[in-house]
Structure 1
Amino acid sequence: MNVDQIVVFAIFFGVFALLIYGRWRYDLVALGALFTGLLAGVVPVSKAFAGFGHPATMIVAMVLVVSRGLMNSGAVHHIARLVADGTQSVSRHILLLGGVGAALSTVMNNVAALAMLMPVDIESAHKAGRSPAVSLMPLSFATILGGMVTMIGTPPNIIIAQFSRDAGGTAFGFFSFAPVGLACAIAGLVFIALIGWRLIPKQRAAVNSPQALLDMKGYTAEVVVGEESPIVGKMMPELDEVAAEAGVVVAGLVRRGKRLAGRARRAKVRAGDILVLEASPAAIDRFVGSLKLGYIGEDRHRREAGADLSLSEVVVPRGSRLDGRSADEARLLSSYGITLLGISRQGKPSRERVRRIPIQGGDVLLLLGPPDRLAEVSARLGTLTLADRGLTVTRHGRAWLAVGLFAAAVVLASTGLVPLAVALIGVVVAYAVTDIVPPRQLYESIDWPVVVLLGALIPLGTALEETGGTALLASGLVGLSAGFPAWVAVMILLAATMSLSDVLNNNATALVAAPVAIEVARALDARPDAFLMAVAVGASCAFLTPIGHQNNTLVMGPGGYSFGDYWRMGLPLELMVVAVGLPAILIVWPL
């Protein structure tokens, strides 16, 4: 290896290590890698921002806005309601709702599809008297599978489509992914509906009662002792009996901003003290009412909204405005006018101050505030409301208009009359003009960390190729398959990409693996189509961990899953995708 190759490989090794470590957001890691590449000279200054003007970056951003428009139209909600009524068997429920999720993911961002269907799934679990843990993970997997079917179903397909235009083979169009993706999606959906959900650990169903999220245990919450409270002047141990009756554990006492650790049990309760509780939302409310306690910020809320206050449970996706920040750092009360009442992380309480706990992707938050503001602030922060509040149709009577505009863009792009990026820009403009997506929501709809990730890593991917790094990786892969038919190299590439996607962002995986796929094809004197399609399939299949795909992170808290739960259903699902996807690739895209 020459010096430039060593530098580029070192940068990508650092990127992979930091992404797996997970301490810093992936967009910041990507920007840091780009900056390092510029300093080292492997990325020319003239190409530093080429990634932000790349068609793939623009298409990803536009797809996210289009997804918001389809959500705002209300069409998705009505479809979901028709198939999920809580009376079907688990297998039928997963097959129907998962089928809707997979179908939606073919034309909209799969994270958005899951976000819309999660409350429907949870409500169905309540009606059926079963745990939402049984169906949330299958729903997540179904939406991921559906994204494999079209170019815009998942960002890796968009990235692969752009690489295919420069690879010397077939330029992948909107439906080029359908033959292989549809075969994998159908086989995968049947598997998770009939067998997969049965592989979820039984203790998850036992922990999540039929009340599920509305009665979720494991919240750490803080309440204020008022001057009229009957517990003023009492010793802390005297609260144990009434706390037990309410189903609450009094875990600590905060006075003058400091938590009394070992001394709390020997302290007398004073007015203005903050009690740290561990309980469900319903138990917290009972305890507060019986002892005349109060919520932090409650006086402000009532001054601004009268007596109308509400509790809301939301899940935090990775990359949202709260990810990595505490409530104090995000200024939830002072800037947004809502109170973080409690936080639950995989159903486990925390021993830290609630407002100072750094919030992580997958956490479930219990928020207090006026109902209208809770919904508005949840959308601004990028969190997902779990309790079903009717999911009102925000743009009445415009469902068909939203669908029609999008369908027209698909027809124009798939027939080659207009480039896909241009067609999607037209849809976004039309959505804004018709108020399907109000102008204020246009930029809120875009997942900017993903845009930054693409913009930063595309120049580094080019550097990997221009320094000969991709050729070096390709020669190693060809060496592994030496003496075997060329399809073995396709299988190895598929498996390697799938393994990377389980621990890395799938966009980063596609950006790194696509150039390698092209080099492998050149080394074997084969068409690149099958190799690129293998990367597309592998980059989309992140089923072994909660960190490989954002959808898996979203269901982790509400489902009460642990890190090790995913591989139980995910591993056989990935093996099935290989068994179905590899023959489909070789049939549709012969070497």
Structure 2
Amino acid sequence: MLLAQFFTPMNVTLIILLASSIFFMRGKIRSDLVAICALLALVITGILSPTEALSGFSNPVVIMMIGLFVVGGGIFRTGLAKLISSKILRLAGESETRLFVLVMLVTASIGAFVSNTGTVAVMMPIVVSIAVSAKISPRRFLMPLAFASSMGILTLIATPPNMIVSNELEKNGYDALSFFSFTPVGLVCLAVGIIVLYFLSKIFLSKDDSDGQENKKSGKSLDDLTNEYQLHKLPHIVISDDSDMIGKTLKELKISNNYNISVVTVEKPGGGRFRKNVNEVVAGPNTLIEKGDVLVCYGKKGNINRFVEEQGFKIAETVEKETGIFDFEEIGLAEVFIMPNSKLVNRTIIDAHFRDEFNVNILGIQRDNEYKMTDLQKEKLHSGDALLIQGTWTDIADLGDRQDDLVLVGQPLKEAAKVTINYKAPVAATIMVLMVIAMVTNIVAPVIAVMCAAVLMVATGCLRNMEEAYKNINWESVVLIAGMMPMAVAFEKTGAAALISDTLVGGLGTYGPYALLAGVYFGTSILTMFISNSATALLFAPIGIQAAVNMQVSPYPFMFAVAVAASMCFASPFSTPPNALVMSAGRYKFIDYIKVGLPLQLIMGIVMILVLPLLFPF
């Protein structure tokens, strides 16, 4: 009897929430799995029906989040975010203060439109390189970088809590928030953050605690390979329109045998506006030479000049690409090692038919810390040789299956995924602007505007295909939010939300709306330290509404308090993905987040409690 009285639906709901919070805090089980288990527990205990439990997966907020991940992926893939960031950050010059302010402003501005996790991911290498160039410890900037991505709550789509509170208002019969409703709040947060973090980071984060040991890499980047093998501009040889080579394959022409040079790629005339001017093709035996082609060759200067003079060609004056000597969109570089039992040992590259066998070109050989870059065709391969190879990313990745002969270093497909499609940046910018206009003007529902933009990112080639679009979606976050949404339904259904609201109003309401607002804000802020900001917003949004109704005041300042408090969590490295993302790169310890993040979180809360009623009166 006593057990039956204790295990009421409300208490069971609170127990499930408490258990979920403990698992979220421990972090040993994935957060999305915890959310699904909580959802199942609510169904098994009869608190929610299966339809109610699965309602989160059809919620517009969840669908919008999926679309925003795809749109953000397109913006990053085209290099648009990096282009904007790099140009603005150059304005900093040698001023540490100006650099700090610009890092915060640029990060918050990008974070206002795309995922804050993605924003930090693209900004982090830029900020580190600039800090190193300015001879300033990157630790000074990386934590503020992560915090600034959360402070960029300038738009409705900046963070999931923004969309969650807007959805909650609309569900309860109030006007939904507009696209720029959060702009004044976000500007205040950013101003407070810049001022407070400037001093806190200078005091606590300026010292570099690096132990001098570099993390081991699983492979070399494209820049690493280009620099290590001292690759420079390769001559681009323009084929004359009346050349006898036109219409023949490279195998028929025997350029390598006759001139001792290698044709590594063939540039063919390309598309129109917003498309590449040329298409690079990896040179192979069956590559057909056509009118207008340009041969990218590799070899001694004398041999190159002899080839050009005898054929009546000319060498084009080319500008080295930003990413290196090749267009790495389709064609890549990698390093492989010759195995001791390989059939390639003691065979020359010509005798081994390397290009025919593996569909890649050898650009250089590293042996005993010496690099051989010319006259490779007749070079015998030795066990342990490191070969610099060039080919399509797919062909390079396929070498991973040839471990009897070669060992592929690193993960080439991951390197390929880092390459930006820069010529598509104007397209991505146009799509992003159209999406924002559609959401601001309410031409269509926000979720439809986002989904249209996501489809356009794939259809226009800003993302290569649907597989890449799916890879850009953080499914853990999607499942977490969709799984925790029913918890908010259970809170309302069992009366837990009303109980917490009544407790807040009863305990703090007598002291006025400011005290109640403080209770809602810091209640949200404390819970966000232990579970995700989205889950916290889902739980406290109905509580904020109910508290305002009980006190007969406007719910808007309370809902903004929930959204801001859920996003402004800085005292833990695990409260938001950006906080965790910079922890290793900045060599931060948990105590660093307490020293810098906790004072900022408290100051931000006090300022918001004073400012929100001024912007959105009770």
After TM superposition, the score normalised by the length of structure 1 is 0.70
Letter in 2 for 1:569: V
Match of 1:89 in 2: 95
- Note if contact 2:103-2:141 (Cα within 8 Å) is conserved in structure 1: no
Match of 2:615 in 1: 588
Letter in 2 for 1:171: A
2:427 to 393, 401, 409: 401
Moved more, 491-500 or 168-177: 168-177
Match of 2:413 in 1: 373
Letter in 2 for 1:110: N
- State the number of aligned residues: 445
- Note if contact 2:509-2:515 (Cα within 8 Å) is conserved in structure 1: no
- SS of match in other structure, 2:491: helix
Q: Partners of 1:552 and 1:483 in 2: how far apart?
A: 38
- Note if contact 1:51-1:459 (Cα within 8 Å) is conserved in structure 2: yes
- SS of match in other structure, 2:609: helix
Structure 1 residue 491, shift from structure 2 partner: 1.3
Q: Partners of 1:436 and 1:418 in 2: how far apart?
A: 23
Do residues 414 (structure 1) and 440 (structure 2) align?
Answer: yes
Match of 2:124 in 1: 118
Letter in 2 for 1:32: C
After TM superposition, the score normalised by the length of structure 2 is 0.67
Do residues 443 (structure 1) and 470 (structure 2) align?
Answer: yes
- Note if contact 2:427-2:460 (Cα within 8 Å) is conserved in structure 1: no
1:26 to 18, 22, 31: 31
Structure 1 residue 392, shift from structure 2 partner: 4.9
- Note if contact 2:39-2:484 (Cα within 8 Å) is conserved in structure 1: yes
Structure 1 residue 208, shift from structure 2 partner: 6.1
Match of 2:141 in 1: 135
Deviations 1:185-221 (A, max 9, x none): 22212332x3131132555x14266xxxxx526x699
1:513 to 540, 545, 548: 540
2:15 to 10, 19, 22: 10
Deviations 1:536-565 (A, max 9, x none): 000001100100010010000111101111
2:561 to 521, 531, 534: 534
Letter in 1 for 2:55: A
Q: Partners of 2:399 and 2:181 in 1: how far apart?
A: 45
Match of 2:194 in 1: 189
Structure 2's unaligned 5+ residue stretches are 1-5, 219-335, 345-357, 367-396, 402-406
1:455 to 471, 482, 488: 482
Match of 2:258 in 1: none
Q: Percent identity?
A: 28
Q: Partners of 1:417 and 1:309 in 2: how far apart?
A: 59
Letter in 1 for 2:204: I
- Note if contact 2:47-2:490 (Cα within 8 Å) is conserved in structure 1: yes
Match of 2:598 in 1: 571
Deviations 1:513-556 (A, max 9, x none): 11111111122112211111100000001100100010010000
1:198 to 178, 198, 202: 202
Letter in 2 for 1:134: R
Match of 1:432 in 2: 458
- Note if contact 1:62-1:425 (Cα within 8 Å) is conserved in structure 2: yes
Moved more, 466-475 or 579-588: 579-588
Q: Partners of 2:165 and 2:595 in 1: how far apart?
A: 29
1:207 to 207, 210, 217: 210
Matches within 5 A, 1:220-231: none
Letter in 2 for 1:44: S
Letter in 1 for 2:454: V
Structure 1 residue 130, shift from structure 2 partner: 2.9
Structure 1 residue 142, shift from structure 2 partner: 1.0
Change (3 A) 1:71 1:308: farther
Change (3 A) 1:546 1:307: farther
Letter in 2 for 1:100: V
Letter in 1 for 2:42: G
Deviations 1:115-165 (A, max 9, x none): 11100011112212232111111111111111x211111111111111110
Q: Partners of 2:150 and 2:339 in 1: how far apart?
A: 42
Letter in 2 for 1:444: K
Q: Partners of 2:588 and 2:482 in 1: how far apart?
A: 33
Match of 1:287 in 2: none
Letter in 2 for 1:216: E
Structure 1 residue 335, shift from structure 2 partner: 11
Change (3 A) 1:514 1:336: farther
Match of 1:37 in 2: 42
2:83 to 78, 82, 103: 78
Do residues 105 (structure 1) and 105 (structure 2) align?
Answer: no
Moved more, 167-176 or 522-531: 167-176
- Note if contact 1:109-1:154 (Cα within 8 Å) is conserved in structure 2: yes
- Note if contact 1:34-1:460 (Cα within 8 Å) is conserved in structure 2: yes
Matches within 5 A, 1:159-178: 159-178=164-183
Matches within 5 A, 1:297-316: none
Structure 1 residue 32, shift from structure 2 partner: 0.5
Deviations 1:261-299 (A, max 9, x none): xxxxxxxxxxxxxxxxxxxxxxxxxxxxxxxxxxxx955
Structure 1 residue 415, shift from structure 2 partner: 1.8
2:61 to 49, 56, 62: 56
- SS of match in other structure, 2:503: helix
Larger radius of gyration: 2
- Note if contact 2:509-2:551 (Cα within 8 Å) is conserved in structure 1: no
Letter in 2 for 1:126: V
2:505 to 475, 478, 485: 478
- SS of match in other structure, 1:84: helix
Q: Partners of 1:499 and 1:136 in 2: how far apart?
A: 24
Q: Partners of 2:64 and 2:113 in 1: how far apart?
A: 13
Q: Partners of 1:116 and 1:392 in 2: how far apart?
A: 12
CA RMSD across the alignment: 3.0
Letter in 1 for 2:583: M
Change (3 A) 1:337 1:504: farther
Q: Partners of 2:487 and 2:338 in 1: how far apart?
A: 52
Q: Partners of 2:194 and 2:57 in 1: how far apart?
A: 35
Structure 1 residue 571, shift from structure 2 partner: 2.0
Structure 1's unaligned 5+ residue stretches are 210-214, 222-296, 311-333, 339-366, 380-390
Match of 1:489 in 2: 516
Deviations 1:212-268 (A, max 9, x none): xxx526x699xxxxxxxxxxxxxxxxxxxxxxxxxxxxxxxxxxxxxxxxxxxxxxx
Q: Partners of 2:365 and 2:40 in 1: how far apart?
A: 47
Q: Partners of 1:17 and 1:206 in 2: how far apart?
A: 32
- Note if contact 1:27-1:449 (Cα within 8 Å) is conserved in structure 2: yes
